[in-house]
Amino acid sequence: MSVDAKQVSEYLLNLQDAICNALSSEDGNGFIEDAWQRDAGGGGRTRVLAEGGVFEKAGVNYSMVHGENLPASATAQRPELTGRSFRAMGVSLVIHPRNPYVPTSHANVRFFIAEKPGEAPVWWFGGGFDMTPYYGFDEDCIHWHRTAKTACEPFGAETYPRLKQWCDDYFHLKHRDEPRGIGGLFFDDLNQPDFEQSFALMRSVGDHYILAYLPIVQRRRGIEYGSREREFQLYRRGRYVEFNLVYDRGTLFGLQSGGRTESILMSLPPLAAWHYNYQPAPGTPEARLYERYLQPRNWAEMPTVDSDATPPGAKKDA
């Protein structure tokens, strides 16, 4: 099968629709759409659900940009791309829930192609999904990673462990020496064994995101919470901001390629907080997040656990 960018674009537009429909149905509120055009070439559909019943902010963005020259972020490690025109397309989403017991989640699937007359195109797929809990549940982590493993199974037994480790390595805040969350899947520069198989893996990852996330939302959205949980949620959201502005490749590529700033920064939470030298009190659910959940674990291979309404030691404010 030859490289077919149009087929990829059609899949991505349909994926955006499917994810927005599923999230809107769960929340009870709809997304607003902002269709935009990029002066240098291309455009997209930014969709945001704000101040919903379940999601404080949910952003699901489709973009397809093109240009005659690549930004420095793309050519720095790939000098063979210099002098090539490019097309980059993808769906990127971040869901910030209102209830601190519901984790934040992120997913992205994308395709890149660079072309030059008289030479073969350079292309690859990338993507993945990862989850960032504020209060951890073994049941949720196991479900998330088993669904991720299921997405990878048609592509060989080594695919899930490789993409899981890649995710753990990528979503690591070096300046904090801690992971952003419990991980999931991440891949980039995928063009082997061929276009058909690479495209199939990207589709499988995109199609499994809602299957991984929505059951967790449904289990946790009704748990009562108070000011303590909310304050901790805002503090941990600060880590999300730090990663996206300092390390995230998509953010850097978008800003350096003249992308639409409002859409690029859609991933940031509506509210976040920073506290100097914060340390959770020993024996609290907040401390347990660091001790159990912000540690690398093989969640997919852990035995199934019974559903638990609240984390151990949780106390509610009035």
Q: What is the structure's pLDDT at 313? A: 52
Cβ-based neighbours of 169, under 8 Å, separated by 6 or more: none
Cβ atoms of 122 and 81 within 8 Å: the answer is yes
Cβ atoms of 252 and 73 within 8 Å: the answer is yes
Q: Determine whether 275 is an active site residue.
A: no
Cβ-based neighbours of 305, under 8 Å, separated by 6 or more: 138, 139, 142
Q: Give the residue from 97, 105, 107 showing the smallest Cα distance to 61.
A: 107
Distance separating alpha carbons of residues 213 and 119, to the nearest angstrom: 42
Q: What is the structure's pLDDT at 307? A: 64
pLDDT tens-digit readout, 202-227:
999 999 999 999 999 999 999 999 99
pLDDT tens-digit readout, 30-42:
999 999 998 888 9
Q: What is the structure's pLDDT at 314? A: 53
How buried is residue 128: exposed, middle or buried, by Cβ count under 10 Å (0-12/13-18/19+)? buried
Distance separating alpha carbons of residues 150 and 205, to the nearest angstrom: 9
Q: What is the structure's pLDDT at 308? A: 62
Tens of pLDDT along the chain (318 residues)?
689 999 999 999 999 999 999 999 999 999 999 999 988 889 999 999 999 999 999 999 999 989 888 777 667 778 888 889 999 999 999 999 999 999 999 999 999 999 988 888 999 999 999 999 999 999 999 999 999 999 999 999 999 999 999 999 999 999 999 999 999 999 999 999 999 999 999 999 999 999 999 999 999 999 999 999 999 999 999 999 999 999 988 888 788 877 788 888 988 999 999 999 999 999 999 999 999 999 999 999 999 877 665 555 554 443
Which residues are 115's β-sheet partners? 85
Active-site residue (options: 66, 106, 143, 145): 106
| pTM score over 0.85 | yes
Coil, strand or helix at 94? strand
Q: What is the structure's pLDDT at 311? A: 56
